[in-house]
Amino acid sequence: MSEKQVAFITGATSGFGEAAAHYFAEHGWSLVLSGRRFSRLEALKDALAGKVPVHIIELDVRDSDAVKTAVAGLPEEFADVKALINNAGLALSPMPSQKVDLEDWQTMIDTNVKGLVSVTHALLPTLIKHGAGASIINIGSIAGQWPYPGSHVYGATKAFVKQFSYNLRCDLLGTGVRVTDLAPGIAETEFTLVRTKGDQAASDSLYRGTTPLSAQDIAEQMYYIATLPDHMNINRIEVMPVRQAWNPFAIDRD
């Protein structure tokens, strides 16, 4: 590449984030990878050794002070971030709202909303300085558009991601920085294991007998968005597997 490209990926220790790290590295991008599980970050850096420069940061996006420190402390080689991939997020407690612990709701809000906002705010000056071609890719979900039982606060946080992305586009008009809400449907990652707090049977049951999206599928979409011509912005991409669609409205009957 004629220009050094740097991608900052949150939640890089598994799923979409890890797949994105591999995919962007294959195309020559330097990487800033953050996540809570440092041993996984080290393993990922080792796996990418010799391909591209990699800087890893043990980071919980819920800690806004740690986010500011991490961004301020980026080595010069990684300081010119061109693509921010706000991937860190989670769903918890796929059960009726009245049965969910309040702590699980708060964890989703703190991670999916506050964490995303903190990272974005910290990197906005860098992205604006980069200018044309810089991208913010926020990982949303079809849950931010389409309700379903057990989505409660998770879906609400992803609706925030969608609207925040749109609003951010308005404020960044004239800077050259583009913003996209990338909203996947059902995808086979650690997502369901986290959501069910380690219930492997529940995870296996969800994906059994169908063809969900893969983390690689979403990583390819991230790369496509990040490498569009500078004058193009995709506001939102909703990606579902062909074998997933909508059901009729539920009706309570006597």
Domain boundaries, the chain: 6-239
Q: Give catalytic residues, as residue numbers.
A: 154
pLDDT value for 193: 77
- CA separation for the pair 145, 148 (Å, rounded): 10
pLDDT value for 121: 98
Predicted TM-score (pTM) of this structure? 0.95
What six digits make up the tokens of 107? 């964890």
Q: Which of 32, 11, 23 is closest to 219 using CA atoms?
A: 23
pLDDT value for 24: 98
HSE-up (13 A, CA, CB side) for residue 184: 23
Residue ranges in the chain modelled with pLDDT below 70 = 1-3
pLDDT value for 2: 40
pLDDT value for 154: 97
In CATH, the architecture of 6-239 is: 3-Layer(aba) Sandwich (3.40)
Amino acid at 111: T
